[in-house]
Amino acid sequence: MTTFKAFSDADILADLTAQVPVEHVFTDSDTLNKFSFSKRLTDDDSGLALAYIEAHSVADIQGTLKIARKYHLPVIPQSQTTSTVIGSDGIAGGLILSTAKMNHILEISKADSLAVVEPGVINGDLDKAAREQGMFYAPDPGSKPISGIGGNVMTNAGGMSTVKYGATKDNVLGMKVVLADGREIKLGGRTLKQAFGYDLTQLMVGSEGTLGIVTEVIVKLMPIPLGTPVMGVAFFNNMTALAKAVAAIRISGVYPTMLEALDGQTVAALDRYEKTHYASNSAAMLIFKLDNGGAASMELVRKLLAENDASNVTITTKPEEQADLEKLRRDMLPAVFAGQNHIMEDMAVPLSQLAPLMDYISDLAKRLDVKIYTAGHAGDGNVHPTLVWPKDATKVPDNIIVALQEMFHKTLALGGTISGEHAVGMLKNQWNNAELGEDVDLLQHQIKALFDPMGILNPKRKIN
């Protein structure tokens, strides 16, 4: 069947460049290919976008949305393109709207313990700027050096410090957002408490660009803790034993900043990548950190580790050694991904169910003959199993698909979630009904329709 278009692409682009400076609009194939596609595991209608818009201002965003409404075009918000769930790939004929160049730290207020930033500000850059004034920004995704605050907010990013300081949602006070109809609204504010109206700030956090485009964020800052940070490693015979030790530490009254788990396969991959020799110690590695609490807290941690069969416990207060350990954890992904096809998952369970989930993943890998590297933020029950298969495979093997499905079902049966911190994107939106239930699934779609009645904002992401 022949489709007769009311407007040509040239007509649309001419209209777009009347609303947005022409130097901010890119239509060349190199740019469109670079920003339209990521590594995919699904068949969908994603494809080459019509244009990539590099927004430098709120006006650029509003102009782009005006054209999208007029021509009924999908708008895909992007920042630093670090999504792991096909959350910001281009859609054929749509508009990619990047806020990466809106990257200014507008204010750091030590007196109010907050910062005001544009969405393109890199997480690590904000933390560095805050530390120069005796404060710090607590959320620490593994992608801290490369991910933007806007993307962190839109995915409710978690990370290595969530065990003590919470996820991104726990550190957002307010924001400005451009809605699909072009209005810029202000949500929340500069106060630590706010009870007026429905909490639309937290509704926007984790909305994955489906309800609005964030243009400014107010985040909490924390004072740098007193004392000397202490960091260490401990080894266990398996991940189940490690999970039990983590549970004991979590309820002890010690408030660790980091409790990171790496299974034996992952440690071996890191040894190959980093030229280290940790894998000879045991089968599972726990990296832990206390940013304050003193000697008494560390002694209690030592005691709990010993009671839970930890071995080769090493503790350091040296900044350079701590930096090496943090780098080891951040390098987990490139070490595991090297030379293999892969998908990293993101389940979270109640802390009491972490050990059973670890057992299940280990048994599943053997039963289905799947290679699974398991790591994660053990302190908050967040597990990242990475499934790998040969690089030369032309399609995802059936046993990989079955393993993912079974892991998801088991996680839900344990009272958990199949997206702890990486968002939903297109990889998991078909699981909404399974996780949320029919009534809540319907309510999600009603909220989407209220904020975006034309369905132009990041369609088919977050909800199906």
Which position has the token pair 């008494």? Answer: 296
Predicted local confidence at residue 1, as pLDDT: 52
What local confidence, expressed as pLDDT, does residue 405 receive? 95
pLDDT of residue 283: 83
Count how many Cα atoms sit within 13 Å of the Cα of residue 207 in the half-sphere of its side chain. Answer: 23
Q: What is the pLDDT along the chain (464 residues), one digit of tens a residue?
A: 556 778 899 999 999 999 999 999 999 999 998 888 765 444 454 578 999 999 999 999 999 999 999 999 999 999 877 766 677 788 889 999 999 999 999 999 999 999 999 999 999 999 999 999 999 999 998 788 889 999 999 999 988 898 899 999 999 999 999 999 999 999 999 999 999 999 999 999 999 999 999 999 999 999 999 888 999 999 999 999 999 999 999 999 999 999 999 999 999 999 999 988 888 777 899 999 998 877 788 889 999 999 999 999 999 999 999 999 999 988 988 898 888 898 889 999 999 999 999 999 999 999 999 999 999 999 999 999 999 999 999 899 999 999 999 999 999 999 999 998 888 887 788 888 999 999 999 999 999 999 999 999 999 888 87
Are residues 357 and 414 in contact, defined by beta-carbon separation less than 8 angstroms?
yes
- CA nearest to 94, candidates 429, 456, 424, 454: 456
Residue in 176, 170, 148 with CA at minimum distance from that of residue 158: 170
**CA–CA distances in Å: residue 160 to residues 24, 166, 294:** 36, 10, 21
Residue 127 DSSP symbol? H
What's the rounded Cα separation, in Å, for the pair 80 and 64?
19
Neighbours of 294 (CB within 10 A): 12
373 CB-near residues (< 8 Å, 6+ apart): 263, 265, 266, 269, 336, 385, 386, 388
